[in-house]
């Protein structure tokens, strides 16, 4: 590999995404973030679920795992626990992470699992051709909501904060550089980092998506206290506004920290257990 240039993280696989898809921007941001952090490709695992955006691991020079719909986080968790030296990044769409995989999102965050979770959020099911997602605004007409979506949308960032994620941010795929900066922070964070990237689907949400979202973009105000959960209340679940930036960041012991602590409690610097120790409870030694 030629040093750590964004291009060196690109595979020869051509993305299946539609022209104008926001995921191209996300992918470019990821190349850039990995290069700038000098992340070793062979020490990196990119895991995804199913959906348009879940094709991403194939396009990144790293170990990749395009798994099942909704199950990127359990697989990523297993890989990280089994081999803690790996840098594990989970990616996927909003339907994948908030609908079918919602329970795993909750628990990966709650455990403060040492993972970066990047959600490409297009507010729609793209791969299945345009049905409403849990992130689709109420009232929107989609293939599955002929008369308008009857359900209120959720903001994945608000969920992540309430679930216990220790780093939560939001970016916009149209801002490759700004999103790369957010990714760098997310990847460098110790613990569960969740980055929601608004990534327009021009095919099912309309050609004007980029323009419309760009018009809604705001940044966090100066003096924003990202260490307080309540600070994010005003900048999540917003109507007609999309606020980007680091919404929340705290430091807590991570799942790997806890596991190392457990190993120490269990074994410490004692001699490793023998087979006799292992079978002690079953041995009639009296």
Partner 1 sequence: MSEITFAIVGSGGDGAVAAGDILSMACARDGLHVIKTEAYGPQIRGGESSCTVRVSSEKIYAQADDVDALIVFNWADFGRFRSEISLSADAFVLHEAKDPAPPEIATDRVFGVPFNDLAREAGAPNGKNILALGILAELFGLPAEAIRAAIAKRFAKKAQAVVDSNLAAFDRGVMYCSGLARPSRRLEYVKTTPHLLMSGNEVCAVAAIDAGCRFFAGYPITPSSEVLHFLAEWLPRIGGSTLQTEDELAAIGAVVGGSFAGVKSMTATSGPGLSLMAEMLGLASIAEIPAVVYNVQRGGPSTGIPTKSEQSDLMHALYASHGDTPRVVLSCSDVEDTYQATVDSFNIAEEFQIPVITLTDQSIAQRRETIAAETLEHEVVERRIAHDLTGYKRYRLTEDGVSPMSIPGMSGGMYQTNGLEHDEQGRPSSMYVVHERMNEKRFLKLEAVAKKYRLFTRFGPQKAGIGILCWGSSAGVVREAIAKLNAEGIAAAAFVPRILMPLPAEEIEKFIASVDELLVVELSHSQQFYRYLRTQVDMPRNRTHVYARSGGRALRVGEVIEQVKRFALSEVTA
Q: By the criterion CB under 8 A, which residues form the site for partner 1?
A: 11, 13, 41-45, 47, 50, 55, 57-58, 61-68, 70-71, 73-83, 85-86, 103-104, 106-107, 259, 262-263, 265-267, 272-273, 278-279, 282-286
For 2, 126, 158, 243, the CA distances from 165, given in Å and listed in that order, are 35, 27, 10, 18
Pick the closer one to partner 1 by CB: 187 or 220: 187
CB of 38 to partner 1, least distance (A): 15
Pick the closer one to partner 1 by CB: 63 or 224: 63
Can you name the residues that pair with 218 across neighbouring β-strands? 243
C-alpha to C-alpha distance for 249 and 220, rounded to whole angstroms? 14
Pick the closer one to partner 1 by CB: 103 or 219: 103
Q: Token digits for 171?
A: 């970016």
Do the strands 242-249 and 167-172 form a parallel or antiparallel pair, or are they unpaired?
antiparallel
CB of 40 to partner 1, least distance (A): 8
CB of 66 to partner 1, least distance (A): 5
CB of 64 to partner 1, least distance (A): 3
Contacts of 85-88 with CB under 8 Å at 24 or more apart are 85/43, 86/43, 86/44, 86/45, 87/39, 87/40, 87/43, 87/44, 87/45, 87/116, 87/187, 88/44, 88/45, 88/47, 88/114, 88/115, 88/116
Pick the closer one to partner 1 by CB: 223 or 272: 272
CB of 283 to partner 1, least distance (A): 6
Pick the closer one to partner 1 by CB: 105 or 235: 105
CB of 16 to partner 1, least distance (A): 8
CB of 60 to partner 1, least distance (A): 9
Pick the closer one to partner 1 by CB: 85 or 222: 85
Pair 177, 32: CB distance under 8 Å? yes
């Amino acid at each position: 590999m030629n040093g750590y240039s964004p291009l060196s993280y690109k595979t020869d696989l051509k993305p299946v995404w539609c022209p104008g898809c926001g995921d191209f921007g996300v992918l470019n941001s990821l190349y850039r973030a990995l290069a700038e952090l000098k992340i070793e490709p062979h020490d990196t695992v990119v895991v995804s679920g199913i959906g348009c955006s879940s094709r991403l691991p194939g396009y990144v020079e790293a170990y990749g795992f395009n798994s099942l719909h909704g199950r990127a986080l359990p697989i990523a968790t297993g890989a990280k626990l089994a081999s803690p030296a790996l840098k594990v990044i989970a990616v996927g769409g909003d339907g994948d992470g908030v609908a079918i995989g919602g329970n795993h999102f909750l628990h990966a965050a709650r455990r403060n699992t040492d993972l970066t979770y990047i959600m490409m959020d297009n507010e729609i099911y793209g791969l299945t051709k345009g049905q409403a997602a849990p992130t689709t605004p109420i009232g929107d007409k989609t293939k599955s909501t002929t008369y308008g979506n009857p359900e209120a949308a959720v903001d994945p960032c608000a969920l992540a904060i309430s679930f216990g994620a220790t780093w939560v941010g939001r970016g916009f795929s149209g801002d490759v550089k700004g999103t790369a900066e957010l990714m760098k922070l997310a990847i460098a964070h110790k613990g569960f980092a969740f980055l929601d990237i608004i990534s327009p689907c021009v095919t099912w949400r309309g050609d004007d998506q980029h323009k419309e979202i760009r018009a809604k973009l705001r940044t966090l105000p100066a003096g924003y206290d990202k260490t307080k959960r309540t600070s994010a209340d005003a900048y999540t679940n917003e109507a007609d506004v999309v606020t980007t930036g680091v919404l929340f960041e705290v430091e807590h012991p991570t799942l790997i920290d806890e596991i190392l602590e457990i190993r120490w409690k269990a074994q410490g610097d004692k001699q490793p257990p023998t087979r006799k120790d292992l079978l002690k409870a079953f041995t009639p030694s009296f």
